Amino acid sequence: MHHKVYFLTMLLAAIIGWLTWVIIILNINPFNASKLEILLFYITLLFALLGTIFLIGWFMRSRFIKRFRLEDHLGTIWRQSVLITFLVLILLFFQSAGALLWWVAILPILAFIMLEIFFVTYERKI
């Protein structure tokens, strides 16, 4: 797929994700929401964050890496987007459960940092 088509597709997906998340935010009362409504909140936020973080990662790499080729960095951008998105969602879930403290947040952050270090070192060995 051509770079501009891929970029526009991701941009459109991120916009749709954010619009659906805003619709859910405006129409759901969090104090008496059903489990399905809470699940929809997290799913739409997942897609919105995933698309947005992917586009930010793409933009940052294309600006700061000379001779940027999307094919070379696509897997890394996706992996980091997924990791950051799940980290944000885990921390948000802890916050909604009333269990987010700074020392509780450090554990998932360190786990995701170690996972990224593993992937970076594993890529270099191949």
- Per-residue pLDDT at 124: 66
- Split into its structural domains, the chain has a count of 1
**pLDDT given for residue 30 in this prediction:** 82
pLDDT (tens digit per residue) in 71-124: 777 888 899 999 999 999 999 999 988 888 888 899 999 999 999 999 988 876
Residue 46: what pLDDT? 95
Instruction: Print the domain residue range for 67.
Output: 3-125
Neighbour-count burial for 2-24, b at 16+ CB within 10 Å, e otherwise: eeeeebeebeebbeebbebbeeb
- Residue-wise pLDDT for 15-73, tens only, equals 999 999 999 999 988 888 899 999 999 999 999 999 999 999 988 888 887 777 777 77
pLDDT at 114: 94
User: What was the pLDDT predicted at 65?
Assistant: 79
pLDDT at 1: 59
Integer CA distances (angstroms), 114 to 11, 12, 29, 118, in order:
29, 32, 37, 6
Q: Give the pTM.
A: 0.85
